[in-house]
Amino acid sequence: MANTDTKPGTMNPVGKSVQRLDVMEKVTGAAHYTDDIPFGNSLLYGRVKRSTVAHGLIKRIDVSKARALPGVKVVVTGEDFPNLIGLYLKDKTVFARDRVRFIGEAIAAVAATSEEIAEKAIELIEVDIEPLPAVFDAEFGASKDAPLIHPDLANYECPNFIFPVPGTNISNHFKIRKGNTEEAFKKCAVIMEKKFRVPHVQHVPIEPHIAVAQVEPDGDVTVWAASQSPFSQRSSFAKALGVSESKIRVIAGYVGGGFGCKAGVTMENVAVALASKSGGRPVKVRLTREEEFFTNFVRQGLIINLKIGCDAQGNVLAMENNQWWDGGASTEYGVNITRAGGYNSSGPFDIPNITTNAMCVYTNHPIGGAYRGFGMSELHAGIIQVMDMLAEKIGMDKVEFLKKNAIQGGDFNVTGMKMHPVGLQDCIDKVAKELNFSVKEKGSSPTKRRGKGIGIVWKAPSMPPNAGSSAEVRLNEDGSVTVSVGGQEIGQGTFTVMAQIAAEALGVAYEMVKIEGPVDTRYSPYEWQTVASRLTWSMGNAVRRAAEDARKNILEMVAEAWGENPANLDIKNGYVVSMKSEESISLKNIVVYGIPRPGDQGWIGGPVLGRGTFMPSYVTNLDKDTGQGARAVVHYTTGCQGIDIEIDTETGKIEIIKAVSVFDVGKAINPDLVKAQIEGGFIQGMSSAIFEEMKLVNGVMKNPSFVDYRIATTADLPRENIAMFVETAQDDGPWGARGIGEHPMTPTIGVLANAIYDAVGVRVSNPPLSAEKIYLAMLEAGVVS
Amino acid sequence: MGFHQISVKVNGNDEVVTVSSNMTLLRMLRESLALTGTKNGCAAGECGACTVMLNGEPVNSCMVLAVEVDGQEITTIEGLAKDGQLDVVQKTIIEKGGVQCGFCTPGMLISARALLNRNPHPTEEQVVEALVGNLCRCTGYSRIIESVQAAAEHS
């Protein structure tokens, strides 16, 4: 075979740690993020007038002085945009209209010829607000005594899997009623009950939110945004403006970190609103770091009361799980986070009797949105600790207790869904072995105490049942491949993984594949959102099918030319080869120009284009009163984390000696990228567990800067951060793959709390697990004096 | 507001730029010179995404006024590769897989290069210290630290 003209490359790249596609651009400063796009002198800069009152009625807005300021081109208020919007629950408007509901809420916006003028104009807008009693605690907010934040809740539009309770602040009440919890508790030898509070935290992408919008001469609107969900945004912008989707175009380049906060629509609507009245001039809105902290999506706080019991042999028999999610001023996204808190409420445990009430509660806090594995860090923070307490109380080895109760393939889980095969037992074994878990080790000095913690998690993609993906694969004259997708490269490496999948399915080298970018809703195929750790699995299936479609077209063309059966042909290393005749032909040229028939009798084939789509068809709704159903979700990714720490008893400071995280990824399409997700996810989890908390006092965030809201730096790392995986194939994943992007940070709060307990015998249960909190807890317990 | 004409060497090129009194070096690089590789992450000197070299020393360009760099030398991420060849810190961060979203990467690489210029063989502790002002939310840092150590070994 004459393969001499083939580029050197990586054949069969699935399962190989190929180099990322996007690194050359990113290490040279050439990668374009939204703020890097030039718009010339016509660009206007938008700024937002925000509420300084947590809850109140707007009595007067006077924008006349702002409008009169030279350089101000547009001023908009809630008067101009009455439509209700929201991803799941349509409960908000672009700008507050009659009422403000949190400090930081947008009331008006200005577009001007410079940022300075826009800022000055904002100060000239006069707003009178009559304060109302506010709600700053979710449990109180759910009570009958709380003032109503959304009196119109009964009229809001939402999908049929969200259950608002009109006349209250509860915008979703998700229930599980499985087995008979009351009877089962009577049979328990040990019952542990504990209440946990998980504070609000921020996503903190290093790139703040940014959007630029422009109305085209034909009235269509183009939006350039740092976006995890261009297609969902298109839909939301269309609703906000009262136009159809085809009138909106979203272009989304590289995203400088998302972690969920750039999914759905938040501040981007302000840019669209301003641009709709700017006479065709583009308007850029970019959040300051301070705004990034409290005006946009936050990880909502959770109050959770957990009661779990087991029999004398350590079998967990029953769980009662009450959750109050601090959804904030709008729960357009939060209702679904609450739902996830509900249908995952058992954690990865086989528990026959469960009663869960997961409630999404309106408060006068910032608005809750998706954050990396939404709901799961918060939920597992408590479950991991109570399971640890149970194992200790019953006198059982902690690893044995986890293995005994961990969910397995074939079990009917919390929602009655039959579990697919999971490798959770292997994950637990690997962590225990790597951490030498059963061996109690001594501190490195008399003032230091050593301890180890372990815990297990699960998480399913939390999404509508019919979230779809699509992809196109085109071949070029030189035999290279262009793949179009609508999912976003937000740092996780999805473009690389998609190129691997296309190359493998088609039979070309990885290096021959390029992913088309930026994602542009006018040209890119539909993708629901880049969230939920769903792309490798869902978009991966679409890309695989598109590549297989292209492959089929190529083989049929060559089969006709050679008078062979396509079944006897294969594509290897960019060549079509016949297994019968051993004849071969390069993909070059034929994939665009076709193949001439012998004897000048015309042509066969032509440009090769493959199409693939994927949408799960089997997810069913759950019963409103019991939370039971055939299949609530597409699948679960499970895993185990263990942490070995040393605590300085003189300061309470934690040093992590070793962290081990093992997840069942089904199939690692790119093992090194999987490990990079696990390592980075662990540090994000560690950072949120030890350092992070939005200090909200009467609705005011007291620490909206990197100085006061500290995230992990190079100085805070564990000595070892070990990432491993097991591969129990997912039946409908590409080569068995399922997602891993979010899961690595979800166990960390609980596992660290268990390690602290193991080290010093004091349970510091509510994050942040700061040195100060640990020291004071040790002092109170008499561990130190 | 006053305007000033300044002369500055950026990535080896002599530039003459008219800047306002309140313009930061960050804005001058991004808006006047179209060097958008330097990123704006906080505009408050806290995240390090805008790190550039000022006469060889790493600075947060959001904290430096453009008028202050009159007659000085600036190196940005665009000036790290020479003659089409990546700097060794760029090569090793690729090799070690220390890039994810990429937004902190330019500032991180400038801090790394500045460190290796003043200390070609830093200890791990010195690398950690040199990068402590460059926040990264994706990678968990360890691959970046390893990449700087590897770069030191290469050079």
Would you state the pLDDT for residue B155? 72
CATH of the domain at A436: 3.30.365.10
Going by pLDDT thresholds of 50, 70 and 90, the confidence category of residue A8 is low
Q: Mean pLDDT throughout A662-673? A: 98
The pLDDT of A310-325, averaged and rounded, is: 98
> Which structural domain, as residue segments, surrounds residue A429?
302-405+412-463+621-781
Q: How far apart are alpha carbons A55 and A691 in whole angstroms?
A: 29
* pLDDT tens track for A679-694: 999 999 999 999 999 9
Average pLDDT over residues A631-653: 98
A673 vs A16: CA distance, rounded Å: 10
Quick one: B42 and B16 in the same domain?
yes
Domain of residue A222, CATH code = 3.90.1170.50
Angstrom distance (rounded) from CA A305 to CA A359: 12
**How confident is the model at residue A339, as a pLDDT?**
97
> Is A753 part of a structural domain of the chain?
yes
The model's pLDDT over A64-115, given as tens digits with 9 standing for 90+, comes to 999 999 999 999 999 999 999 999 999 999 999 999 999 999 999 999 999 9
pLDDT for res A240 = 83
A5 pLDDT exceeds 70?
no
Per cent of chain B over pLDDT 90 is 98
The answer to whether residues B94 and B65 belong to one domain is no
What are A325-354's pLDDT values in tens digits? 999 999 999 999 999 999 999 999 999 999
Q: Specify the CATH number for the domain of residue B104.
A: 1.10.150.120
pLDDT band at A3 (very low <50, low <70, confident <90, very high): very low
**For chain A, what percent of residues have pLDDT higher than 70?**
99
pLDDT grade for A6, boundaries at 50, 70 and 90: very low
**Is the CB of B49 less than 8 angstroms away from the CB of A206?**
yes
Task: Give pLDDT tens digits for A199-253.
Answer: 999 999 999 999 999 999 999 999 999 999 999 999 989 988 889 999 999 999 9
B151 at interface of A, judged by CB pairs closer than 8 A: no
Residue A437 predicted with pLDDT over 60: yes
Q: How far apart are CA A346 and CA B85, in angstroms?
A: 54
Q: Are residues B73 and B136 in the same domain?
A: no
Residue of B153, B152, B72 lying closest to B112 (CA atoms): B152
B62 and B127 in a single domain? The answer is: no
Distances (CA, A) of A656 to A132, A650, A754: 46, 16, 13
Looking at the structure, do residues B67 and B101 belong to the same domain, yes or no?
no
The b/e string for A518-530 (b: 16+ C-beta within 10 A; e otherwise) is bbbbeebbbbbbb
- The predicted-structure confidence for A712-746, as pLDDT tens digits, reads as follows 999 999 999 999 999 999 999 999 999 999 999 99
Q: Is there a contact between A254 and B127 if contact means CB atoms under 8 Å apart?
A: no
Q: Do B100 and A492 touch (CB under 8 A)?
A: yes
How far is Cα A283 from Cα A224, in angstroms, rounded to an integer?
A: 10
Q: What number is the average pLDDT over the span A553-560?
A: 97
For the stretch A250-267, pLDDT in tens is 999 999 999 999 998 999
Distance CA A691, CA A84 (A): 37
3-state secondary structure of A606: coil
**Minimal Cα–Cα distance from B46 to chain A, Å?**
6
Q: Is the pLDDT of residue A2 over 50?
A: no
- Best mutation target among B99, B145, B149 (most A Cβ atoms within 10 Å) is B99
Are B46 and A711 a contacting pair at CB < 8 A?
no
Handedness of CA A389, A390, A392, A396 (dihedral sign): negative
Predicted local confidence at residue A478, as pLDDT: 97
> How far, in Å, CA of A428 to CA of A438, rounded?
13
In this prediction, residue A4 carries a pLDDT of 40
Q: Which of B 26-55 lie inside 8 A of A, CB atoms?
A: 30, 34-44, 46-47, 49
Would you state the pLDDT for residue A498? Answer: 98
Q: How confident is the model at residue A7 (pLDDT cuts 50, 70, 90)?
A: low
My answer on whether B69 and B99 are in the same domain is no
Of the candidates A679, A711, A715, the beta carbon closest to that of B142 is on A679
* Averaged pLDDT of chain A: 97
Task: Quick: pLDDT tens for B74-100.
Answer: 999 999 999 999 999 999 999 999 999
The shortest C-alpha distance from B26 to chain A (Å) reads 13
- Residues spanned by the domain of B136: 88-154
Query: Of B55, B79, B103, which residue constitutes the final position of a domain?
Result: B79
**β-bridge partners, B6:** B17
Domain stop point among A614, A641, A670: A614
Asked if A36 lies within 8 A of B36 by C-beta distance, the reply is yes
A28 chain-B contacts, CB cut-off 8 A: 37, 77-78, 80-81, 86, 90
Answer yes or no: is pLDDT of A171 > 90: yes
Name the band, by pLDDT with cuts 50, 70 and 90, for residue A569.
very high
User: Residue A722: which H helix or E strand, with range?
Assistant: strand A720-726
Averaged pLDDT for residues A36-58: 97
Chain B: give the shortest CA distance to residue A681, in Å. Answer: 7
Whether residue A719 sits in one domain with residue A655: yes
Q: What is the DSSP string of A450-494?
A: EEEEEEEEEE---S-TT--EEEEEEE-TTS-EEEEESS--SSS-H
3-state helix vs strand vs coil in chain A, percent to 5: 30, 25, 45
List CB contacts (< 8 A) between A212 and chain B: none
Number of structural domains found in chain A: 3
Q: Are residues B94 and B147 located together in one domain of the fold?
A: yes
Taking the CA of residue A714 and the nearest CA in chain B, the distance in Å comes to 5
The bridge status of strand A603-604 relative to strand A44-50 is unpaired
Mean pLDDT is lowest, of A53-57, A252-256, A596-600, B3-7, for A596-600
Task: Give me the number of domains chain B comprises.
Answer: 2
Point out the domain boundary residue: B79, B100, B129. B79
Return d(Cα A660, Cα A658) in angstroms, integer.
7
Interface predicted TM-score (ipTM) of this complex, two decimals: 0.98
Is A9 contained in some domain?
Answer: no
Residues A281, A312, single domain; the answer is no
Please give the model's pTM, rounded to 2 decimal places.
0.97
**One domain for residues A492 and A529:** yes
B43 shares its domain with B65: yes
Are A278 and A386 within one domain? no
Write down which residue in A614, A642, A663 finishes a domain. A614
Query: Which residue, B23, B58, B79, sits at the end of a domain?
Result: B79
Residue A170 lies in a domain: no
Which CATH number goes with the domain that contains B74? 3.10.20.30
For chain B positions 106-145, those within 8 Å of chain A (CB to CB) are 106, 109, 127-129, 131-145
Distances (CA, A) of A98 to A59, A95, A127, A153, A236: 8, 10, 12, 15, 22
